[in-house]
Copies of this chain bind each other. A is one copy, B any other.
């Protein structure tokens, strides 16, 4: 089972041990400030009475679920607060695989490598379908692949690693396809605050009761380490997801939940807009420098990753190590994300040195 974090960990270690300065564009950890209200929320937790250190309800603090439900315009009962988007996706896949016939999960190629690994852990069979060269979904491939064996279709939009933002009509058509074959559409929207097209719409706006949306505050609030996310689940999957959440984790860490609740309530839209603009600017500057490097690349519509391809230099682990040693840039090999982009590298622009990294690449190639 090959998944991102060990690969990430291996490359990070290699970069740390390199005998030179290396710019890390491997990890997807935001490098900006969390909301001030989030810090305030942690401080308030530190000062709480003893009862506030005890189990919150398994599905999440009542006030946090209510806040999420109001913002997303869904019944509170459909919201389960999870240990990040990681657990949200695990619960969604587990519920779909348990409640439906079939064991196949349709995924895109390139794919966030946790998805096939999570599917296999749960006894399911991942099936990767290549996207178009620009990262958009090839619906005809999904139509051809969907059938009795299909249990779930799992999409990520805005997408890691392609940066694609799937249009609402694509999500709608995929939901209808899932419905036709008795499968569940799961849409991981963890990058929803990083949409540069202005056209992103949550799958929740479809107002269908058979779609799962998973997400987290990890990226939008720059708190990957706090582990607070949630799933909005349709009624038939709720019971399994609730039971599994309780039997695996009991509940999500309470100070983290309380801090996110405070940040949700008190953070101005400007906080999110500022970071989105910061990333948009980085992407632009990075792309300009990639032009100088003669690279082929995708300009992301969302999220904060850039896929790039260099002539006669495929995205293998060996070449990723050469980039570290000879260019001073750590990037993720495209093969980590499936076959479709095995010739490419993924650059995560969550470092203030993103432009400098691209300039180093230009100098190297």
Contacts and interface: CB of A to CB of B under 8 A. Distances in A.
A253 B83 contact: yes
Nearest to A117: B247
B249 A227 contact: yes
A319 interface: no
A226 B42 CA distance: 12
Chain A: interface size category: 35 or more
A147 interface: no
Closest 8 CB pairs of A and B: A253-B253, A225-B254, A42-B46, A29-B54, A86-B250, A43-B46, A227-B253, A83-B249
A255 interface: yes
B250 A54 contact: no
A19 interface: no
Contacts of A259: 255
16 contacts: A5-B58, A29-B55, A30-B54, A40-B46, A42-B42, A42-B43, A46-B46, A53-B222, A54-B224, A54-B225, A83-B252, A84-B249, A121-B243, A225-B251, A252-B253, A253-B253
Interface string A226-261: 111000000000000001101111111111100100
A52 interface: yes
Among A33, A46, A114: residue with most chain B CB under 10 A: A46
A127 to B, nearest CB: 18
Contacts of A29: 51, 54-55
Contacts of A47: 39
Contacts of A1: 243
Among A40, A57, A121: residue with most chain B CB under 10 A: A121
Contacts of A45: 42
B246 A5 contact: yes
A22 interface: no
B84 A225 contact: no
Given A29-B54, A50-B31, A251 B227 contact: yes
A321 interface: no
A90 interface: yes
Contact of A255 (B117, B121, B255): B255
